[in-house]
Amino acid sequence: MNDDSSTRIAAALRDWIADAAPGARLPSTRTLVEHHGASPVTVQRALKLLTTQGLVETRPGVGTFVRAARTTRPADYGWQTAALGPRPAGAGTLSTSLRTVANDVIALHSGYPARDLLPERLVRTALTRAARSEAAINRSPVAGMPELQQWFADELGSQSPTDVTPPAASDVIVLPGSQSCLSAVFRALVLRGQPLLMESPTYWGALHAATQAGVEVVPIPSGPHGPDPEQLDRAFEETGARLFYAQPTYANPTGAQWTPGLAQSVLDVVRRHRAFVLEDDWAHDFGIDSEPRPLAAHDDAGHVIYLRSLTKSVSPAIRIAAVIARGPARERILTDIGASSMYVSGTLQAAALDVVTQPGWLPHQRRTREALRDRRDLLLRCLREHTPQAHVEHVPAGGLNLWARLPDGTAVEPLADRCRAAGLMIAPGTEWFPAEPSGPYVRLNFSGPDPSGFGAGAQILGRMLDA
Amino acid sequence: MNDDSSTRIAAALRDWIADAAPGARLPSTRTLVEHHGASPVTVQRALKLLTTQGLVETRPGVGTFVRAARTTRPADYGWQTAALGPRPAGAGTLSTSLRTVANDVIALHSGYPARDLLPERLVRTALTRAARSEAAINRSPVAGMPELQQWFADELGSQSPTDVTPPAASDVIVLPGSQSCLSAVFRALVLRGQPLLMESPTYWGALHAATQAGVEVVPIPSGPHGPDPEQLDRAFEETGARLFYAQPTYANPTGAQWTPGLAQSVLDVVRRHRAFVLEDDWAHDFGIDSEPRPLAAHDDAGHVIYLRSLTKSVSPAIRIAAVIARGPARERILTDIGASSMYVSGTLQAAALDVVTQPGWLPHQRRTREALRDRRDLLLRCLREHTPQAHVEHVPAGGLNLWARLPDGTAVEPLADRCRAAGLMIAPGTEWFPAEPSGPYVRLNFSGPDPSGFGAGAQILGRMLDA
């Protein structure tokens, strides 16, 4: 471990390389060790440095060579344009909410909680433990580690009333993040070109997955109180759809949580049409004023396919989600997942299970709940004070976002551009609508870094709305 | 850390629960701590034990409750059968090579190297380091960590001749395993129902992904010397296909490595048809008698889409692969990957990069090469001695498998069943053929656990062939 020595050896070798022919073989590690009186590790470090700088290249088991000078021509990929044909309809760029930004920007656009809302200590401990365990080396079963399947089943089962059979561990399929579940379920249960009912507005990632699956999205209007079961009933009737994608708990972006009555009505509609709901319980760990009430806890006849993710509540670097499905539908989904992702890293599965079963997990969740409440209320106050033009119809009882309606006629995308130029990132509501937006909305995330910037952010938004 | 105390507390609570009504709230952790004179950690451990046993359930932030007795009815998912409709053509079960088996079985069926061939110490160190780094908490960019993109680009670029422009880091997309690349590339570059040329026999996982993508597989016969460029030319001509999936280096299952001349001819054919090759360089780290020679190193016009995986050489628990593609095709593929997996765990990316840039990686690769040579040669000797009926046409210069032809008329699937009953797992060759098999083959993997069983395994195979 002597960085100075390795830098010195690298410098000496750079001189040697300057005089050498391209392709010349460098002295062996042993020779360099003797010549420089350094350890093999130090010499390797010097060679790695030169490799990174593109001066040498290593051929495993053969040696290290002076890298030949390259002729770099401008590439012409024009032939691909003809070979690829037209771009698939709707294939788009990434959402605003995935953008990373400089530190001095006020970020209300992100979809991910800031670092201080994550259980960082638990995550580091869990990964360190996983590194020492069998999970660092073994291959996981395709459907997931049995203990983690059991945990996901228990989480949902603990909310089932006594007259509903809770899910079994074997109903659970563990996934590398929830996005791969969305595309797998859409592909597995909806034929190409066939209708898929989706709340409008709804999660942009689900819209993206639906586009890729080639299904026809049928929007079901949904607001601060969720969708209207009668409209849903008519849409099933008219389109013959067999799947409805919905977020009954703290919906993204509206923040709606369905009442038990609405949940029951939707379940009745779905049962009557012998159809499925894909329940995306993305914000299960982000209740503020209420507890999450999964729809799936009230179904044991295989109508609700339940998706739960730990990515946002544990760590975006431990991407673990699970889908719970029963009956033949589970087999259909597992076949698709087997062909598209095969199995999930056991290291990540072990670490995720470790985090959520530690004694520190509940206190962390309580702290997160308080922090989210403070942040939500602070952002609401700042908007009221500095941005009276923005109207938050519904204060969400959980989740990470406010959904604000702007004055009629506001062009939200140019507004977002003006805000960005002034140092504020917001997400234009257009990205959450499967068809034309029902009005000018922006989504403001209150879980990003540094809530002390909320006031300044609201001021910028107010100013730009007047500009 | 007192397991006895927590067991004792759990036992006391079990008595309490036996008298309690379903749904009753347990005494608070604080009360239990005082009552039993134990630490909060010990009490939590006791509660976790009871949760695992299904006796209590915890509602985060609320308390722990006696779990209500459940009425379990046999479920009727019959309605799903009608809702789902016919099973998609070709949707199958998992390959033999993913099966896990008991320790006393001789396993020649697996697709994964045994534990003693993995860089276990490097993996554990790398994961421990990643647990301490920013990579445990941060979200990775969609296309991957820039340093890891650079490493994959350098690996391929270091094999490019000087008149070929090497790939840039920005041409690389990091993936959670190579399976997700196969399905993404097939979907992105081949329209549903359109032809996809594939070597026959070829990797079953690619066949699985092709089925799922709904493309029409056109088999190109390929043997110990790879495909015939004239046949490939005719197939492009007759079908109008624009993609050829191939494994030019130690193909799975045949072990073929294309000569530089064949590689050049295939590239010429592909260029002439303005088409793509998806080069699956799955065994890049498993050269035995030769070095891998990626086709992609000789193309800078965007014809070769290059797939490299570290899953088998680093750890199946660190599932990291990368695809290198240039031009508009890369955008098309990235759009699909964005919709189907979004981004890859930064922890795994950091750990993978750490392993392959450690000084210990090259010595590990050298040891693996020697171990694979010993295992391959041992299995060949055992087959020659005990299974003269099995004919290995081609001794592979790398990879993990022997591809053995059995006497004409052998029914390979019943044979595999008989072998399994006698304590030997083999993979019937049928799984590697897109259409009817060209003969009775089995794939024998020499990288599984315990090569000392090879002799007994060959004896069983010989006996069962005569049975």
Residue of A nearest to B60 (CA): A362
Residue B1's pLDDT band (boundaries 50, 70, 90)?
very low
In terms of DSSP bridges, do strands B172-175 and A172-175 run parallel, antiparallel, or are they unpaired? Answer: unpaired
Percent of chain A whose predicted confidence (pLDDT) is above 90: 66
Q: Using one digit for the tens of pLDDT, what is the confidence trace for A246-259?
A: 999 999 999 999 99
Provide mean pLDDT across the span B152-177.
Answer: 93
Q: What is the pLDDT at residue B202?
A: 96
Q: What is the pLDDT at residue A152?
A: 97
Residue of A nearest to B342 (CA): A179
Strand, coil or helix: what is B35? helix
Report the mean per-residue pLDDT for chain A: 90
- The DSSP code for B39 is -
Inter-chain touch B142–A98, beta carbons under 8 Å:
yes
A340 touches chain B (CB under 8 A): yes
Predicted confidence (pLDDT) at residue A113 exceeds the cutoff of 50: yes
Query: Chain B neighbours among A 245-284 (CB < 8 Å)?
Result: 274-276
Q: Using one digit for the tens of pLDDT, what is the confidence trace for A76-103?
A: 888 888 788 777 655 555 567 666 666 6
Residue B16's pLDDT band (boundaries 50, 70, 90)?
confident
Please answer whether residues A297 and A270 qualify as being in contact, where contact means their C-beta atoms are separated by less than 8 angstroms.
no
Inter-chain touch A58–B362, beta carbons under 8 Å:
yes
Query: Chain A neighbours among B 47-66 (CB < 8 Å)?
Result: 48, 51, 54, 57-62
B82 touches chain A (CB under 8 A): yes
Residue of A nearest to B128 (CA): A128
Interface test with B, best of A158, A180, A285 (most B CBs within 10 A): A158
Inter-chain touch B335–A124, beta carbons under 8 Å:
no
Inter-chain touch B94–A338, beta carbons under 8 Å:
yes
Percent of chain B whose predicted confidence (pLDDT) is above 90: 66
With helix as H, strand as E and coil as C, how does chain A read?
CCHHHHHHHHHHHHHHHHHCCCCCECCCHHHHHHHHCCCHHHHHHHHHHHHHCCCEEEECCCEEEECCCCCCCCCCCHHHHHHHCCCCCCCCCCCHHHCCCCCCCEECCCCCCCHHHCCHHHHHHHHHHHHHCHHHCCCCCCCCCHHHHHHHHHHHHCCCCCCCCCCCHHHEEEECCCHHHHHHHHHHHCCCCCEEEEEECCCHHHHHHHHHHCCEEEEEEEECCEECHHHHHHHHHHHCCCEEEECCCCCCCCCCCCCHHHHHHHHHHHHHCCCEEEEECCCCCCECCCCCCCHHHHCCCCCEEEEEECCCCCCCCCCCEEEECCCHHHHHHHHHHHHHCCCCCHHHHHHHHHHHCCCCHHHHHHHHHHHHHHHHHHHHHHHHHHCCCCEECCCCCECCEEEEECCCCCCHHHHHHHHHHCCEECEEHHHHCCCCCCCCEEEEECCCCCHHHHHHHHHHHHHHHHC
- Structural domains for chain B: 3-66 (1.10.10.10), 96-116+362-466 (3.90.1150.10), 120-358 (3.40.640.10)
Lookup result for tokens 């036992």: B11
Which residues of chain B make contact with A289, given a CB cutoff of 8 A? none
Inter-chain touch B128–A132, beta carbons under 8 Å:
yes
Predicted confidence (pLDDT) at residue B341 exceeds the cutoff of 80: no
Half-sphere exposure of residue B154, counting CA atoms within 13 Å on the CB side?
Answer: 21
Residue of A nearest to B44 (CA): A359
Please answer whether residues A387 and A458 qualify as being in contact, where contact means their C-beta atoms are separated by less than 8 angstroms.
yes
Predicted confidence (pLDDT) at residue A181 exceeds the cutoff of 60: yes
Residue of A nearest to B145 (CA): A317
Predicted confidence (pLDDT) at residue A458 exceeds the cutoff of 50: yes
Inter-chain touch B70–A205, beta carbons under 8 Å:
no
In terms of DSSP bridges, do strands A391-392 and A401-405 run parallel, antiparallel, or are they unpaired? Answer: antiparallel
Q: What is the pLDDT at residue A443?
A: 96
Q: Which of A338-352, B116-130, B253-267, B361-375 has the lowest mean pLDDT?
A: A338-352
Q: Using one digit for the tens of pLDDT, what is the confidence trace for B345-357?
A: 999 999 999 999 9
Q: Which secondary-structure segment (H or E) carries B45?
A: helix B40-52
Provide mean pLDDT across the span B172-193.
Answer: 91
Nearest by CB: A136 against B163, B315, B343? B315
Provide mean pLDDT across the span A269-281.
Answer: 96
B112 touches chain A (CB under 8 A): yes
Cα–Cα distance, B44 to B40 (Å, whole number): 6
Predicted confidence (pLDDT) at residue B402 exceeds the cutoff of 90: yes
Which residues of chain A make contact with B332, given a CB cutoff of 8 A? 84, 87, 91
Predicted confidence (pLDDT) at residue B37 exceeds the cutoff of 70: yes
Structure tokens at A451: 């809530």
With helix as H, strand as E and coil as C, how does B102-133 read?
CCCCEECCCCCCCHHHCCHHHHHHHHHHHHHC
Residues in chain A: 467
Query: Chain A neighbours among B 295-314 (CB < 8 Å)?
Result: 300-302
Inter-chain touch A83–B369, beta carbons under 8 Å:
no
Inter-chain touch B98–A142, beta carbons under 8 Å:
yes
Residue of A nearest to B116 (CA): A137
Provide mean pLDDT across the span A293-309.
Answer: 96
Provide mean pLDDT across the span B272-294.
Answer: 96
Nearest by CB: A180 against B211, B332, B341? B341
Query: Chain A neighbours among B 193-252 (CB < 8 Å)?
Result: 205, 208-209, 211-212, 214, 242
Q: What is the pLDDT at residue B91?
A: 52
Nearest to B183 by CA among B315, B339, B297: B339
Q: Give the torsion through C-alpha atoms of A198, A200, A201, A207, to 10 deg.
A: 30
Helix axes A204-213, B328-340, angle to 10 degrees: 120
Nearest by CB: B326 against A75, A92, A339? A75
Residue type, A374: D
Q: Cis omega (within 30 of 0) on the bond before A428?
A: no
Q: What is the pLDDT at residue B69?
A: 62
Nearest by CB: B369 against A61, A84, A191? A61
Nearest by CB: B75 against A118, A142, A326? A326
Q: Using one digit for the tens of pLDDT, what is the confidence trace for B78-107?
A: 888 878 877 765 555 556 766 666 667 888
Residue A72's pLDDT band (boundaries 50, 70, 90)?
low
Q: Which of A37-46, A414-423, B223-232, B455-464 has the lowest mean pLDDT?
A: A37-46
Residue B340's pLDDT band (boundaries 50, 70, 90)?
confident
Please answer whether residues A173 and A322 qualify as being in contact, where contact means their C-beta atoms are separated by less than 8 angstroms.
yes
Which residues of chain B make contact with A91, given a CB cutoff of 8 A? 332, 335
Cα–Cα distance, A446 to A373 (Å, whole number): 9
Lookup result for tokens 């140092």: A423
Q: What is the pLDDT at residue A1?
A: 42
Residue of B nearest to A22 (CA): B162
Which residues of chain B make contact with A338, given a CB cutoff of 8 A? 94, 208
Percent of chain A whose predicted confidence (pLDDT) is above 70: 94
Provide mean pLDDT across the span A261-287.
Answer: 97
Strand, coil or helix: what is B384? helix
In terms of DSSP bridges, do strands B427-428 and B441-445 run parallel, antiparallel, or are they unpaired? Answer: antiparallel
Q: Which value does ipTM take for this structure?
A: 0.81
In degrees and rounded to multiples of 5, residue A277 shows phi and psi of: -115, 135
Q: What is the pLDDT at residue B110?
A: 84
Provide mean pLDDT across the span A414-425.
Answer: 94
